[in-house]
Every structure is written in C-alpha cells, then in structure tokens.
Amino acid sequence: MKSKKFASVNKDICVSCGACTGECMLGAITTPNGCYAVVDTDKCVGCGRCSMICPTGCISIKDRIGA
Ligand code: SF4
Ligand code: SF4
C-alpha cells in the first residue's frame, strides 16, 4: 500500500545540488538530468526528509489523491 503523501519538486527552483538525494533512505529522489530533482512516487513515502534539507525550498509534501 502506498503512503498517503509524496514529495513534489518545483523544477523551476531546483538547482540540482543533490542534497536531497543523500537524505532519502529509499533512493526515491534523484537528479538524473543534472537540471532538477525527480521523485519516484512509487518509492517515496512522503517522510519529508528531503524537503527539510533542500536549500531552495523547492520540495513540497503533497497528499496523494484517493490514497
Ligand atoms: S536539495 Fe532541493 S535544490 Fe537540491 S537537488 Fe534536491 S530538490 Fe533540487
Ligand atoms: S519525502 Fe522521504 S521518501 Fe520521499 S523522496 Fe523525500 S526523503 Fe525520500
């Protein structure tokens, strides 16, 4: 069963610093294109660790619709 929350990245603000990727124990957030971070919403449990360390504040934790 998926968590009720997940992380969402505002790619216009992300600077692809990679701080979030080291914080996620599940490997659910990566910077595959060198431009902005991408969340694997199947892996993400919405814990918020990445959003707390992000220096630009571009990660928000959202509710899954219908979860
Ligand atoms: S920590 Fe924030 S700014 Fe840095 S790569 Fe992750 S989402 Fe982007
Ligand atoms: S909210 Fe938690 S599980 Fe999801 S990407 Fe961020 S650190 Fe990983």
Q: What are the pLDDT digits (tens) for 18-50?
A: 999 999 999 999 999 999 999 999 999 999 999
Residue 67: per-residue pLDDT: 62
Mean pLDDT of the chain: 95
CA 28–ligand 2 middle distance (angstroms) = 6
Q: Does ligand 2 lie within 6 Å of residue 47's CB atom?
A: yes
Q: Count Cβ atoms below 10 Å from residue 29 Cβ, excluding itself.
A: 24
Query: Which of 3.30.70.20, 3.40.50.720, 2.40.50.70, 3.30.420.40 is the CATH number of 5-63?
Result: 3.30.70.20
How far apart CA 38 and CA 53 sit, in angstroms, is 15
To test the pocket of ligand 1, the residue of 8, 20, 52 to mutate (highest count of ligand atoms within 8 Å of its CB) is 20
Burial of 6 (0-12, 13-18, 19+ CB in 10 A): buried
Domain range list for the chain: 5-63
pLDDT at 28: 98
DSSP-derived 3-state class of residue 22: helix
pLDDT in the model for residue 66: 73
